[in-house]
Amino acid sequence: MENTQYYIDKIYTMAIEYGPKIILAIITLIVGLWVIKMVLKAINKGFQKSEMDESLRPFITSLLGWTLKILLFISIASMVGIATTSFIAVVGAAGLAIGFALQGTLANFAGGAMILVFKPYKVGELIEAQGHLGVVKEIQIFVTIMLSPQSKTIIIPNGAMSNGDVVNYTREGRIRVDMTIGVAYDSDIKKAKEVLVAVMEKDERVLSDPAPMVAVSELADSSINLAVRPWCDPTYYWDVHFNTLENGKAALDKAGITIPFPQRDVHHIGQEKG
């Protein structure tokens, strides 16, 4: 009977001591979560007015939300009477251990944040990175997803993307298509250049500024190689490439200008028999 009374008194004392703190902590938690929700909502509206990149909004909002919630929980723990210094030390030690275990993942996370902030490339742009060429389909926080010209899905960790070389073919809004077409040594070079320029000028996808250009690039073993350089929107790169080669060959044939096969002169020196 005495033991029961002792426990009842103990519970009553703890309720008197901690009850108000717990009630205040619950109220603080409810109000704090509501305030955080309103703050994030206001930040989202601010992002929309500033026309921030859509891929960056959810990342920053989520990061701010978690940061505010962690600070709220630490404050509540302090109100209840939990030693926040020890709590923070334990969290820090756990974070350090997790950091060592997930070095690659954290590097990709940091890389994703760098990409979203500095924007070396965006969704829909044609880029070359890590030995792959393709259109960026999605930028996630850990990986970048690309689609190759062969419709292959390429997934590259953001750590490698942020630390490696990236060639962006779309950023300037135009791209030069580099091709080489060889003609025979006895061809009229001026006429060949005019024929190929006319082919490119007829293609509506080829830009007039910068104007398409044809120039002698090499005096090869079997042909005079012409550098053919049309400019176009990156979207039409392969269309212009294939169209120029096909129509250029047909136009050169019509103009009587040949594209030679590889040739080699062989000189035979005979020996007279006595």
**How far, in Å, CA of 55 to CA of 2, rounded?**
66
Residue of 160, 136, 156, 131 lying closest to 146 (CA atoms):
136
Q: What is the pLDDT of residue 213?
A: 94
3-state class (DSSP) for residue 98 = helix
Q: What is the pLDDT of residue 49?
A: 72
CATH number for the domain running over 175-254 = 3.30.70.100
Architecture of domain 120-168: Roll (2.30)
CATH classification number, 2-101, choose in 1.10.3720.10, 3.90.850.10, 3.30.70.20, 1.10.287.1260: 1.10.287.1260
Q: Report the pLDDT averaged over residues 157-176.
A: 90
Q: What is the pLDDT of residue 19?
A: 67
Q: Report the pLDDT averaged over residues 173-196.
A: 93
Q: What is the pLDDT of residue 269?
A: 72
First to last CA, the chain: 140
Q: Which residues contact 196 (CB under 8 A, 6 or more apart)?
A: 181, 214, 226, 228, 244, 248, 251, 252
Percent of the chain with pLDDT over 90: 35
Q: Where are the domains of the chain?
A: 2-101, 120-168, 175-254
Residue of 115, 114, 36, 133 lying closest to 75 (CA atoms):
36
Q: How confident is the model at residue 107 (pLDDT cuts 50, 70, 90)?
A: confident
| pLDDT surpasses 80 at 106 | no
Mean per-residue pLDDT over the chain, rounded? 81
**How far, in Å, CA of 149 to CA of 20, rounded?**
66
| Phi, psi of 92, deg, nearest 5 | -65, -45
**How far, in Å, CA of 72 to CA of 66, rounded?**
10
For 32-36, 67-71, 89-93, which range has the lowest pLDDT when averaged over its residues?
89-93
Q: What is the pLDDT of residue 12?
A: 59
Return the DSSP state at 149. Answer: T
Residue of 66, 92, 74 lying closest to 29 (CA atoms):
74
Q: Is the pTM of the predicted complex or chain greater than 0.85?
A: no
pLDDT (tens digit per residue) in 168-182:
988 888 999 999 999
pLDDT (tens digit per residue) in 237-264:
889 999 999 999 999 999 999 888 766 6
| pLDDT surpasses 70 at 54 | no
